[in-house]
Amino acid sequence: MSTLFDLLSGTDAHPALVAPGRPTITYGQLRANVLALAAELNRIGLGRNDRIAIAMANGPELITAFFGVAVAATAAPLNPKYKQEELAFYYADTEARALVTMPGAIPAAVAAMLPGMMLLSVRADAAGHIVFDHIAGDVRPARATELAVPDDVAMVLHTSGTTSRPKRVPLRHRNLVASTRNIIKTYELSAADRALCIMPLFHIHGLVGSMMSTLASGGTLICPAGFNAMEFWSLIETFHPTWYSAVPTMHQMLLTRASRHEELLRRQPFRFIRSSSAPLPPVVMERLEQTFGAPVLESYGMTEASHQMASNPLPPHPRKAGSVGVGVGVEVGVMGAAGRLLGREQVGEVVVRGANVVDGYENNPDANTAAFTADGWFRTGDQGILDADGYLSLTGRLKELINRGGEKISPLEIDDVLLRHPAVAEALAFAVPHPMLGEEIHAAVVLRPEVEADEGQLRAHCATLLAEYKIPRRFHVLAEIPRGATGKLQRIAMAKLLNLTGE
């Protein structure tokens, strides 16, 4: 069995990390740097099973620090845009013994530190090596140099639930290695690939779907400071990426500017484009493929499964719009209410099991009883159906399905219909409480620049493609649709955000 350090197996001289205005870091340099950081952690008394929070922007410093922490202790990557109170909660919840950050970059992260935590500031020297520039706090007695083993927790993340306290998800090295290898196999990644990492590296999608899978395949990771829809095109021109992975909202933002860069896309075509972490409306997939001239492969991931659970395959295998594909190295099933697996073409809760799935939530027996079956299946909370070819289609989160007078309606179907209206740039159908029906359907839309559409026109459009009971009762035209920290649309929270819960 392997650990995350074993994944860094690229050829010594091959570029591992590149970034705008920064020196290239080779695999030989990266491995040496990671081991040096791990040894320094041991020297100041931090080691296996110690939780170390990381609050940094994307870039070579974060990636090198992450691996150094993960192979010596346990990494707890946090959103650097969290407020001070949120950071303090996560420090306490993970029992973080130290914080890794960059000098002066995130004042809130330092201000939120709890008594007894150590502050470790990192910087890059002239050659691109990452070093601990400043250590504050009580240095503990040195520990013997000891790297992680496959069963150790490499990192701890939290679920992003909106209705209850986030659950801690301990991801072991063996879970992450399994998921990473599944992704490499799915997309046939190799040292010839160059991945453009635009997902945040505090999120499982960016960490595993972009970073780990690229570095474990011996390829080159292009790591700008974050996602910028205007900078994206110059990154293509400079670094020649062969693929990128993103959430649907990012793809949609890129589509709005892609027509200005048609010649660039012809000169620098992608081998494939990956989408994950939220449903990709089929109409967006169609537009992406037409505009970028590359296959768009929708995948399905969750933190509890170390990210990837299923994906559409590369050509010449079929990719199906509206489907998240097939399991690669993962068993995927659909389970009925009685806890039995259902056959093909039957709707039920999606369940998965495999080496990538975590053993359970941390210190949360009630959640584990609800989410994990005795024979190892993880209940995803998603509703779906397997077709005759074994391709999985999701019909919505069970808690997001709209129950209108007993009719269970998938908001994803309504989203896709609205996005087919020429004036609609973004759409989100959601439930609003109703005294008689239980729930009623509303939809939020963002219109394209300089294009108009009123409620009547949107309703008439929906009426051509949807049954009457699925047509939203009201349409809310917004300048933007609220999103969470990782770009996810806030479907469950929309009624509250728009002050509609009293209707």
Angle of helix 27-43 relative to helix 60-72, nearest 10 degrees, comes to 50
Other Cβ atoms within 10 Å of 318 Cβ, number: 11
Backbone angles phi, psi at 430, to 5 degrees: -155, 165
Q: What percent of the chain has pLDDT over 90?
A: 81
Q: What is the pLDDT of residues 306-348, one digit of tens each?
A: 999 999 999 999 999 999 999 999 999 999 988 999 999 999 9
Q: What letters, b where the CB count within 10 A reaches 16 and e where it falls short, cover 54-81?
A: bbbbbbbbbbbbbbbbbbbbbbbbbbbe
d(CA 391, CA 81): 37
Q: Is the pLDDT score of 162 beyond 60?
A: no
Q: Is pTM beyond 0.75 here?
A: yes
Q: Is the pLDDT score of 166 beyond 90?
A: no
Please name which of 449, 457, 446, 439 lies closest in space to residue 403, comparing C-alpha atoms: 439
d(CA 302, CA 88): 25
> Are residues 32 and 174 in contact, defined by beta-carbon separation less than 8 angstroms?
no
Average pLDDT taken over every residue of the chain: 93
Q: Of 368-372, 376-380, 437-441, give the lowest mean pLDDT range.
A: 437-441
Q: What is the pLDDT of residues 300-312, one digit of tens each?
A: 999 999 999 999 9
pLDDT at 163: 46
> Are residues 130 and 33 in contact, defined by beta-carbon separation less than 8 angstroms?
yes
pLDDT at 160: 63
In the chain, the domains with their CATH numbers are 4-167 (3.40.50.980), 402-497 (3.30.300.30)
Spacing of C-alpha 145 from chain mean position = 33
Q: Give me the DSSP letters along 351-379.
A: EEESTTS-S--TT-HHHHHHHB-TTSPEE
Task: Look at the block and give the residue holding tokens 């709209």.
Answer: 402
pLDDT at 203: 94
Handedness of CA 422, 427, 431, 433 (dihedral sign): negative
Please name which of 473, 481, 411 lies closest in space to residue 446, comparing C-alpha atoms: 481
Q: What percent of the chain has pLDDT over 70?
A: 98
Other Cβ atoms within 10 Å of 125 Cβ, number: 10
As a 3-state breakdown, the chain gives helix, strand, coil percent values, each rounded to 5, of 30, 25, 45
Q: What mean pLDDT is predicted for residues 47-61?
A: 96
Q: Give me the DSSP letters along 24-67.
A: -EEHHHHHHHHHHHHHHHHHTT--TT-EEEE---SSHHHHHHHH
Band (119; pLDDT cuts 50, 70, 90):
very high
pLDDT at 329: 96
- pLDDT higher at 248 or 180: 180
pLDDT at 429: 95
C-alpha angle 372-358-145 in degrees, rounded to nearest 5: 150
Q: Is the pLDDT score of 244 beyond 90?
A: yes
pLDDT at 486: 60
Q: Is the pLDDT score of 221 beyond 80?
A: yes
Angle of helix 248-258 relative to helix 232-239, nearest 10 degrees, comes to 80
Band (140; pLDDT cuts 50, 70, 90):
confident
d(CA 156, CA 463): 46
Q: Which two tokens stand for residue 408?
A: 């269970």
Band (494; pLDDT cuts 50, 70, 90):
very high
